[in-house]
Amino acid sequence: MTEEPAIVTGTADWRNLSVLENGSLIFDCDDFNGNIPFTSTLAQVILYILYGSMFVIALGGNSLVCAAVIRTRNNLRPNNLTNYFIVNLAIGDILINIFCVPTSVLSTLVFHYWLLPSQLCAIFNFFQAVAVLVSAYTLVVISMERYLAIMYLFRPRRGTKYAKISILIVWLLAMAISLPILVVSDVEQPDIRYEMCDFYTCTEKWSDKKQKYSYTIALLILQYLVPLLILLFSYISIAIVVWGKKAPGEAEDNRDQRMIRSKTKTIKMLMAVVIVYTICWLPFNVLNLVMDINEDINRWYGLPYIWAMLHWLAMSHACYNPFIYCWMSTPFRQGIFNMLKCVPIIRRFVPDRSHALNTSAVGIPLTGFDGQHNSSLRRKNNCTTYVSVRKKMNHNHGAPIRSASFRCNNSLRSSGPMHRHFVHLEVQQEESL
């Protein structure tokens, strides 16, 4: 802000404009915001707390996801394409935090003028749209990858080249859709206050209102409706297949209970993806559409408060993705625990879960027929334990002799033996979701 008030010649009816004897107007630039919303100390503190906490959680959570994938890449299945997509989703959410949150809070809600150099106006607006579209389209790619993996289980798995090409297409498509914003974005001085104080706002300067309205409709369809419909189609189809899958062979209570828990967890996660995306982005998209249709609403005093709440809700979507996609996956959860244990302060509060996650059966007691000979077996990862009991023909020699052996298949990298088709489906979902 300027230290001295600016003086111009003209007429105006602004509350913080004063008329001098010579007909000139004086405007106090130090009181630029005047009675504009969010200028009180309490309102700004609330804004900083809400957006600040969201910024820290989203940036920290998504950065932790990227680091966990890189750190545990040797422990995860190398052809798991979801790892690539989750990292790309985290990068998109990080960009949303960098380009959308700070400028929206400071320039739009607090100071009401563009704080950065004017040359960055178009660049920031462009990457705001790119980041949002990359996040949305990565969700679509993840859903389609899961759909193909479940519906066409016996087809050869696609390699990493497929994942890299898909990510490249996501970025190119997001940039192509956002290109009009790069062209029309520029700084302007909307009224005499900005001219006197040499302040600018960063906005989209469309030559025709119909073009702006058409582009808003296009963004609503491409950024929200199309991804939402694809998510619904993919995850409803997956939920039907997963819930209808029955284990082959005779019924076993423990096995069936494990499968039911796995199905319930999978369906809850799929529902969470769709519900969170709908709740976060629908209100803000509708508000943008209403603001373009009815320009009179822009003069409503309460609009900034509504805009701030819905904008915060939309931006907070970046906070939930790390929990939905990674926290519910055992390999990622283990990787995050291992990383947190490297921090001395956090180490004491993080439980050691590696033993529980890597062991499928621990300390199975084996009691002899005489009730005295006890032993135990351990089964870890993909090691299959075989127990045989041999009875001697001569019953006078005491209890039968039992022997134990095990066989490991080192080529498998799953958390347990995958001898049955339904077990393979269950483990694959937990690793990739």
pLDDT bucket at 256, cuts 50 / 70 / 90:
low
The structural domains of the chain, with segments of one domain joined by +, span: 53-344, 362-432
Question: For residue 174, how many other CB atoms are within 10 A of its CB?
Answer: 24
Residue length of the chain:
433
We find that the CATH architecture of domain 53-344 is: Up-down Bundle (1.20)
pLDDT for residue 83: 82
CA distance 168 to 84: 12
Classify 313 as helix, strand or coil. helix
CB 247 within 8 A of CB 420: yes
CA distance 101 to 369: 69
Average pLDDT (55-78) is 79
Convert the pLDDT of each residue in 86-106 to its tens digit.
Answer: 899 999 999 999 999 998 888
- 19 φ, ψ to 5°? -95, 125
Q: Which of 204, 236, 31 is nearest to 125 (CA)?
A: 204
Percentage of residues of the chain with pLDDT beyond 90: 31
d(CA 259, CA 17): 72
Angle at which helices 160-184 and 81-99 pack, to 10 degrees?
A: 20
- Which amino acid does the sequence have at 116? L
Residues 133 and 52 sit within 8 Å (Cβ to Cβ):
no
pLDDT of residue 383: 40
pLDDT of residue 76: 52
Split at pLDDT 50, 70, 90, the class of 59 is very high
Residue 427 has pLDDT above 60, yes or no: no
pLDDT tens readout for residues 108-165: 888 888 999 999 999 999 999 999 999 999 999 999 988 888 888 777 777 788 889 9
**Choice among 207-211, 295-299, 300-304 with the minimum mean pLDDT:** 295-299
Cα gap 382→387, rounded to integer Å: 16
Q: What is the mean pLDDT of the chain?
A: 73
- pLDDT tens digits, 15-50: 444 444 444 456 667 666 655 677 778 888 899 999
- Written as one letter, the residue type at 264 is T
Q: φ, ψ for residue 281 (rounded to 5)?
A: -100, -25
Is the per-residue pLDDT at 252 higher than 80? no
For the ranges 161-170, 248-257, 345-354, 418-427, the one whose mean pLDDT is highest: 161-170
Distance CA 259, CA 246 (A): 9
Report pLDDT for 255.
65
How far, in Å, CA of 379 to CA of 409, rounded?
A: 13
Question: Whole-angstrom Cα distance, residue 67 to residue 171?
Answer: 21
Tracing tokens 């309490």 back to the chain, one arrives at 42
| 320: pLDDT strictly greater than 70 | yes
Please give the pLDDT value at position 188.
Answer: 92
Q: Which residues contact 237 (CB under 8 A, 6 or more apart)?
A: 147, 150, 151
Of 150 and 334, which is predicted with more confidence? 150
The phi-psi region of residue 112 (left if phi > 0; otherwise alpha if psi is between -120 and 50; otherwise beta) is: left
d(CA 198, CA 122): 19
Structure tokens at 342: 């490297």
Q: How many CB atoms lie within 10 A of CB 28?
A: 17
pLDDT band of residue 281 (cuts 50, 70, 90) is very high
What is the rounded CA–CA span in Å between residue 376 and residue 26? Answer: 89
Identify each DSSP E strand in 235-382 by its residue range. Answer: 359-367, 374-380
Provide DSSP, 61-127. Answer: HHHHHHHHHHHTTTTS-TT-HHHHHHHHHHHHHHHHHHHTHHHIIIIIIIS-S--S-TTHHHHHHHH
Type and span of the H or E element at 385: strand 383-390
The pLDDT score that the predictor gives to residue 194 is: 85
Tens digits of residue pLDDT in 169-213: 999 999 999 999 999 999 998 888 888 888 899 999 998 888 988
Mean pLDDT of 278-287: 93
What does pTM read for this prediction?
Answer: 0.72
DSSP element (H, E) containing 306: helix 303-315
If one counts every other C-beta atom within 10 angstroms of the C-beta of residue 245, the result is 16
